[in-house]
Structure 1
């Protein structure tokens, strides 16, 4: 009770013992015990307040550290972008000639042109190599869709022209070389598979805006790949193991389809596949060759 004795005045204890000589000592012990508990409670409450205060300050410090980390990352990104896109420094002058002299203008123009082309590539998404990224090369880059042939007619040099509904406001014109075993008069209304993000090109005077996907065993043995029953124009063909997004337009220089073609085939069950993964219209089924098996896709 030493600590409690400090809280109780000696004069108070003397008065109490004089008033209650029998029970005074017991009452005094009770008062001292109560005083001690009150003091400990006050100390505990003060400790809790200090702990809460420390927790709040700790949270503020964590937030400040996170803000500083984000600012540092932002500065690093800006420095990297500045280093990538800043023009190359001019070559050192070996004489008194000015950089605006006619002899220096062609080199400066070439540098400006190279910088502009590089900027356009990065803005269009085709300059990923400049930023250290390697573009993926798999079938998910192809925009494969279901289409319905509205009409078909022959064209110059064994080519044919099809008007195909691919779920857009207007049909697409497709110029194809289908071989002699494909009967054009039987194509109207047929459901087909097309590559819709190839660059439009003019073939014998007609601009082709898509490519029919065919399977073939030889030059003349060709069939059009068919989507599953219930498919509608505009349905997308996807691949379970290759979920990436299709390119807006396939870069001509990369020759994406030609590089993927060795892994495109029709298996022994007639199912079209890429590296063992089937052409699929979600919820409707798989794309197949009408009769051919174990053949290539082109």
Structure 2
């Protein structure tokens, strides 16, 4: 009896691979959805474990499939991999032109007499994709909860010794010692109004030197091309209290990674509303139990 048509076998394998790929895509989507919903370091570690187990299961399925095909005498064929960093099956060894074009026959002589090579049909070598690590939480969620916004008190401010447009402030943000903050507010806020006043500070920017002085936070202000106002916390708020946003739970990063451009993605959605209340996508800057943060007079303005 002659063996089944090679094209039929290849089609059967392709169908099996398609079904396996679709199943794996569904599993990957479920895992991604779970990571987004949980948004916690504990869940991330759990997902990494599940991802490793899934890869082991896939490798086991691949091995079983290849062993069954080899036992049937079917030639190795490259099987596609699932996008997203998880490989469903490794590539089998690429067939040589002779074996790729040889026609199965009942006699050994037919197998030993391959047709001439056709260089135009030579398949390019496929580069094996390396598994990618599971996406971290910081790559999944980019919203205002990533920012460490706190109530602060500017204790003192003075002009920067080497920059006419900069103030150097000492700010209490609820820590054992004040933070040094450099702000470009000289042209907008008189020096006397910078002394002993409440403000909203972003405290998890990477410290940066500004004309020789290291700035450890940023004063949040309503801003337009010709006017700037420091945001005021609600009455009764004390240094160190966190500013939160309804509908955006989560803990802030310890320090924002400048390469991830988290602040740059969030800042365009920070604005004051028609009543001068500071908002993110319509959610107010709020100190729990105390009230909302606002600008003095600037409505419908950007915040930075």
Counterpart selection for 1:181 from 185, 188, 209: 188
Are 1:196 and 2:199 an aligned pair?
no
TM-score, with length taken from structure 1: 0.57
Are 1:152 and 2:157 an aligned pair?
yes
Are 1:166 and 2:166 an aligned pair?
no
Counterpart selection for 2:299 from 265, 269, 293: 293
Q: CA deviation at 1:135?
A: 2.4
SS of structure 2 residue aligned to 1:241 = coil
Q: CA deviation at 1:181?
A: 2.6
SS of structure 1 residue aligned to 2:189 = coil
- Residues 132 and 258 of structure 1: is their aligned pair in 2 closer, same or farther, counting only changes over 3 Å? closer
Q: CA deviation at 1:130?
A: 2.7
Q: Is the 8 A contact 1:214 1:223 kept in 2?
A: yes
Q: Is the 8 A contact 1:164 1:174 kept in 2?
A: yes
The residue that corresponds to 1:45 in the other structure is none
The residue that corresponds to 1:76 in the other structure is 53
Q: Cα deviation per residue 1:184-217 (whole Å; 9 max; x = unaligned)?
A: 2222110000100110011100010001101112
- Which structure has the bigger radius of gyration? 1
Counterpart selection for 1:282 from 277, 283, 288: 288
Q: CA deviation at 1:73?
A: 6.4
Are 1:130 and 2:129 an aligned pair?
no
Are 1:208 and 2:211 an aligned pair?
no
C-alpha RMSD of matched pairs (Å): 2.9
Q: Cα deviation per residue 1:49-98 (whole Å; 9 max; x = unaligned)?
A: xxxxxxxxxxxxxxxxxxxxxxx969827959xxx9xxxxxxxxxxxxxx
Structure 2 gaps of 5+ residues are: 1-48, 58-84, 86-131
- The number of aligned residues is 185
TM-score, with length taken from structure 2: 0.56
- Residues 78 and 271 of structure 1: is their aligned pair in 2 closer, same or farther, counting only changes over 3 Å? same
